[in-house]
Structure 1
Amino acid sequence: MAGVAGQPIVHSLSPLIHTAWIAAAGLDADYRAFGPEDAAAFADLVAAGRQGELRGLNVTAPFKEQALALADQAGPAARTSGSANLLLFEAGRVRAESTDGAGLMTALAEQALGLDVRGQAVVVLGAGGAARAAVAVLIDAGAEVGVVNRTRARAEALAAALGATVADADGLDRAVLVVNALSVAPDIDLSRLRDDVVLMDMTYRPLTTAFLAAGRQRGMTTVDGLAMLIGQARPSFRALFGRDAPDVDVRTAALAALGETS
């Protein structure tokens, strides 16, 4: 038994993706959605995992930072980003991992061919758990990362913790990549951006967000959140079930669930 925990969780595509892989691999396993109402309920779910009721949990908003705090040990990506999107339970202990960064880089490789962030300005919008993972992996890839957030103090705290900067208008002007890690459409002037900038949105409902649609109208390259979701799910599946995800077309099934065709 494994699953994904978040709030809200009803629209998560993670169960669809993992269930398809479980079926293709012929595993005797189950992967389902859990919707703890609050931090206390999430802690109870983790406690159930400690007791052997779960093999592991993917974790989404708003519990990623709490997930790391509840763990007994953490992998390098989780420690660096200060959040976890994967908890693994074994012999009463909890290990935290983060596959969000790997998912982001996989999505960029698939949908932004030729993008090289090394030595380049990159801007991440947001300061939550997903934003932290994005900042961490992009810094590791050699990018000069700036953070923009509605609450400047949170952006400053994230930047100080991970070695980024707080981005200003000049940072947006120079960026080769802008990643939206907010749950809402960002309020930025796309006319200030480079013509060859890549726009990425971690949200996949809708697949083409207003942010991405505006970028496409300007001829900009865009990367959708579904590519990142599938990208982070693959290493999660390996960690949860001890084998690589089968080579089956889960994106088409996910697009159908979203009512999208491409």
Structure 2
Amino acid sequence: MHIDINSDMGESFGRWELGDDDALLSVVTSANVACGFHAGDPSVLRRTCEGAVARGVAIGAHVGYRDLAGFGRRFVDVPPSDLADDVVYQIGALDAFARIAGDRVRYVKPHGALYNAIVHHEEQAAAVVAAVRAYDPSLPVLGLPGSAWLRLAGDAGLRTVREAFADRAYTPEGTLVSRREPGAVLGDPDQVAARCLDIVEGRPIAAVDGSTVRIDADSLCVHGDSPGAVRMARAVADRLSGAGVRIAPFAAAAAA
């Protein structure tokens, strides 16, 4: 039994710093690196890619809406053709820094409001699929199980990777509780680690209303901007390893 652990990184901008990327890179196996549209600047992207390559962590393009002020967490009603171009632009920018560091972009994961929108928004989901296919159809894509995004990606011949969120609450339907709702973000490392083991071993977890829901996942996400993210990621990794679960990236990375 094995699982990938991913985290959002490269989200600092100029003198504004967010998250402890160096510490997280010592724990996770995949790094969702911001591409400059919702967060990150060129120097941050370069440093993050260099750190990931040094530790053998797979680099993923964390693509989002063009929304620096809102951190990519606001829906943007962008025309599908423009959205596809934006996604290609972001993958290409990050891929340049990944190659300078000695690797390349290994997968694509949408960020924030885009991630949530393409659970159901067919046109935007299709636009992101078209962008990935146009850039590199061998790239795996990471997303929510049951989403339009993964369905359309699979129909287009892309490799789909199912994701569960270690530190987010779920609805009974298996979607994420909005960050605007109380209890949407979980903060207890022990509780989060125990829930992750349940997910990996196929047991249902508690939904926000007290019912249970089963989440099928190939990768677990710990948000890099969550309070105590490093401690939480280590708790998850330790609990899984202690139960005999092998932690490994779903996408190959350059040798450290």
What's the TM-score, normalizing by structure 2? 0.35
Q: Which has the higher helix share?
A: 1
Greater RCO structure (CA 8 Å; 6+ sep): 2
What's the TM-score, normalizing by structure 1? 0.34
